[in-house]
Amino acid sequence: MASETSVADEKAPAGLSRYEADAEDGQEGGGDEKSRLSGLLWHGGSAYDAWFSCASNQVAQVLLTLPYSFAQLGMVSGILFQLFYGLLGSWTAYLISILYLEYRTRKEKDKVDFRNHVIQWFEVLDGLLGRHWRNVGLAFNCTFLLFGSVIQLIGCASNIYYVNDHLDKRTWTYIFGACCATTVFIPSFHNYRVWSFLGLLMTTYTAWYIAVASLMHGQADAVKHSGPTTIMLYFTGATNILYTFGGHAVTVEVMHAMWRPQKFKAIYLLATLYVLTLTLPSASAAYWAFGDELLTHSNALSLLPRDAWRDAAVILMLIHQFITFGFACTPLYFVWEKLIGLHDCRSLCKRAAARLPVVIPIWFLAIIFPFFGPINSAVGSLLVSFTVYIIPAMAHMVTFRSPQSRENAVERPPRFAGGWTGAYVINSFVVAWVLVVGFGFGGWASITNFVQQVSTFGLFAKCYQCPPHPALASPSPMAPSPSMPFGFNMTGMFAPMSAPSPAPAPAPMHLGSLHHHHRHHRHGL
């Protein structure tokens, strides 16, 4: 095997060259046109594929809620938090990649073959630190990915409503839940090559559409930029940005899909730099144009004029959210396959059928909690803070706590970070900051805001933050609308709310009166 090792393999960590040789053999095999087309669109494992996967997965629907976060934080804090959490996220993604290489190298020295097995984060923790770390990592990672998938479904329903409001958002959630269930047929992250590429193009279009459309719209009448107004809203917005740059819960799976995983080192940082070119202009321009109005419109597209450009952005984001749903769900599929003993099954249909039970709870939770925007902050503070910030930083410190482990490390910390001492200082800062600011203050703020959404709209809300239909803007707010035949109570089935104006008998709140009512509750949105 030594004679077959390339120059690039000589620089690779021990134990990886055999895997790389197998991967390259697979690339060179199959010279017919069908195999070449399949390789071009389907089988991806290069550093470019990993970059597209990281960049595409990092932004997704959260791009639409960042202007909402700017309204909570204010312009200066919004920009600073994006830069700060972008760096923090890149550092912890680097730590995860180092721990993956360390685990894989040790296992392959023991002749463990991973060609029919996808390594996951909880297995890395198990191999390096034991079963207690594995259990904690598995619990946080699976719960985060579960709610990450839920957020994609909520985003799909929220977006499509602004193109077609003949169905309420809850009905759209039913429809897109069925559509997203088709991701069970995508075997692994090797097969996201064309989807990652297209997803990033779609996000790029949407980001620059929001920026340009907001600037062309100009500032709204009597626009106000009063953020931050309360501590609760401030930390709610901050945790949403923490969630934005915490999309590296699938880092291990993306690395495992690479032909040369050791090339991942700076990929997440480069992906973050590109994402910042999308998030900063779009969020800043939308907040400049609409100001405090964003506090009651967590989806930025809801404030932009309806035209072909906006409809195109909505459709592209829908496709991208389908892709991101698959990104978040695929690691859950792997965990479920390993649990029921089908992970090494070669039949795609059997694996797809076995994966379906994973989609059902995601579908159900998206219907229960349709709070687009606030749910991002809650997930960021309670789950992302531990999954991709605190646990990786602590795991890196514990794994390399002894002089012997540091001496035999596959990858040492970079010199610009201060070597081992600098790495420990940075890791300690990450743990302390995210624990106090992200989980502590952020958890309090986001949960308080989330509870306010539940008390205002109720669970199973039929149409969260739906704008009033034009036909309902008449002086008689309770008149029936022929073009809006729903006649539903938007407060949800578990939290009936009386109309804000006196009425002789309780009645379902009308869309127009609800909009008026919400203007008195802006602080809770």
pLDDT of 223 strictly over 80: yes
Q: Phi first, then psi: what are they for 257, rounded to 5°?
A: -80, -5
> What are the angstrom distances between the C-alpha of 272 and each of 52, 111, 231, 244, 267?
11, 36, 28, 10, 9
Higher pLDDT, 161 or 225: 225
pLDDT of residue 480: 41
pLDDT of residue 189: 85
Question: What angle, 0 to 180 degrees and rounded to 10, lies between the N-to-C axes of helices 267-290 and 75-109?
Answer: 160
Question: What angle, 0 to 180 degrees and rounded to 10, lies between the N-to-C axes of helices 131-160 and 169-180?
Answer: 130
Q: Which residue has the tokens 């309770």?
A: 478
What residues contact 263, with CB distance under 8 A and at least 6 apart? Answer: 47, 50
Per-residue pLDDT tens over the stretch 490-509 = 333 333 333 444 444 444 44
Task: Tell me the two tokens of residue 248.
Answer: 């590296």
What residues contact 245, with CB distance under 8 A and at least 6 apart? Answer: 58, 82, 85, 86, 88, 89, 90, 272, 275
Which of 45-54, 123-132, 411-420, 449-458 is least confident?
A: 449-458
Residue 23's nearest CA partner among 37, 11, 6 is 6
Task: Tell me the two tokens of residue 113.
Answer: 């073959």
Residue 269's nearest CA partner among 465, 131, 94, 409 is 94
pLDDT of 208 strictly over 90: yes
Q: Which whole number is the average pLDDT over 95-104? A: 95
All structural domains of the chain with their residue ranges: 41-457
CB 92 within 8 Å of CB 251: no
What integer best gives the mean pLDDT of the chain?
Answer: 80
pLDDT of 227 strictly over 50: yes
Q: Positive or negative, the Cα torsion across 437, 441, 445, 451?
A: positive
pLDDT of residue 165: 74
In one letter, which amino acid is 422? G
Higher pLDDT, 64 or 26: 64
DSSP state of 305: P
pLDDT of residue 28: 43
**Interatomic CA distance for residues 185 and 92, integer angstroms:** 31
**Interatomic CA distance for residues 439 and 235, integer angstroms:** 10
What residues contact 336, with CB distance under 8 A and at least 6 apart? Answer: 354, 355, 357, 358
In one letter, which amino acid is 303? L
pLDDT of residue 501: 43
> pTM to 2 decimals?
0.79
pLDDT of 115 strictly over 50: yes
Q: Which whole number is the average pLDDT over 37-49? A: 77
pLDDT band at 385 (very low <50, low <70, confident <90, very high): very high
> What are the angstrom distances between the C-alpha of 302 and each of 165, 211, 293, 449, 491?
12, 14, 11, 20, 19
pLDDT of 79 strictly over 90: yes
We find that the CATH architecture of domain 41-457 is Up-down Bundle (1.20)
pLDDT of 362 strictly over 80: yes
Task: Tell me the two tokens of residue 425.
Answer: 């200082």
Burial class (CB in 10 A: 0-12, 13-18, 19+), 349: exposed
pLDDT band at 474 (very low <50, low <70, confident <90, very high): very low
